[in-house]
Amino acid sequence: MGVAMSFATSQALAADFSDPTWPCIQRKVAGLSMGLMWQNPTENVALGDDLKGPVHDLAAALTLQRVDMDAAKGMVTDFTARHGADRDVLQEVFAQVFHSVESRRTRIMGGIGRVSTGQIELAQRIDDARSEMDRLMALPEPDYDQVDKLEEQLDWDDRIYRERQQTVSYLCESPVLLEKRLFAIAQLLQEAAG
């Protein structure tokens, strides 16, 4: 598992900064690969009807962020005690967790991109307003009413920009936390499979 994790980390570090709309310190890695987290996956795992419900239920529970890893370990232990520790079955549990969490991660990253684009546009509007204020103040007879309106709008835009920046910092942590959770769940399930 350590090899897969270090390989995934090196893949993330190999990502580039070619997306100017990406505001996060962490490099943008658009999609994760289940194969980097689950060693030697089996293609097309077929579950018996008796396992479909329990596998789905366990995967749904493991997907929840409010379920800490100690509780997750207990759930996996209970599952394997009742249904066995078949590697293919546990792989299917992970596949369902992976697809759910990766879908959430993709939506979050899309939201980060939209917020970032809005921030870029707002920053440009702030710069334009400052330039316009400078231009108006440089006139022989400045229009102080217009300057006051620009200054008021500038104050609002600047406040909105700063508040959104705090949100962006929080949002940027979300994909990383989801990735760490996926790796931890993969490791937990693979250890249970033996």
41 assigned to some structural domain: no
Q: How far apart are the first and last CA of the chain?
A: 12
**Confidence tier at 41 by pLDDT (50, 70, 90):** confident
Question: What pLDDT is recorded for position 17?
Answer: 59
In tens, the pLDDT along 56-114 reads 999 999 999 999 999 999 999 999 999 999 999 999 999 999 999 999 999 999 999 99
Please state the domain count of the chain.
Answer: 1
For residue 177, which phi and psi values (nearest 5 degrees)?
Answer: -65, -40
Question: What pLDDT is recorded for position 194?
Answer: 84
42 assigned to some structural domain: no
pTM of the model: 0.78
52 assigned to some structural domain: yes
| Gyration radius of the chain over CA positions | 24
Angle at the Cα of 165 (from 162 to 169), degrees rounded to 5?
150
Run of H or E including 116: helix 87-138
The crossing angle, in degrees rounded to 10, of helices 144-193 and 69-83 is 40
**Confidence tier at 52 by pLDDT (50, 70, 90):** very high
8 assigned to some structural domain: no
Tell me the pLDDT of the chain averaged across its residues: 88
155 assigned to some structural domain: yes
30 assigned to some structural domain: no
Q: Is the pLDDT of residue 179 over 70?
A: yes
Burial class (CB in 10 A: 0-12, 13-18, 19+), 43: exposed
Question: What pLDDT is recorded for position 18?
Answer: 72
32 assigned to some structural domain: no
In tens, the pLDDT along 8-39 reads 443 444 344 578 889 999 889 888 999 899 98
DSSP, res 74: H
At position 158, the amino acid (one-letter code) is D
**In whole angstroms, how far apart are CA 32 and each of 12, 107, 147?**
9, 13, 50
For residue 105, the enclosing domain spans: 47-193
Contact (CB, 8 A) for 81 and 89? no
At position 105, the amino acid (one-letter code) is R
**In whole angstroms, how far apart are CA 154 and each of 70, 114, 143?**
49, 22, 16
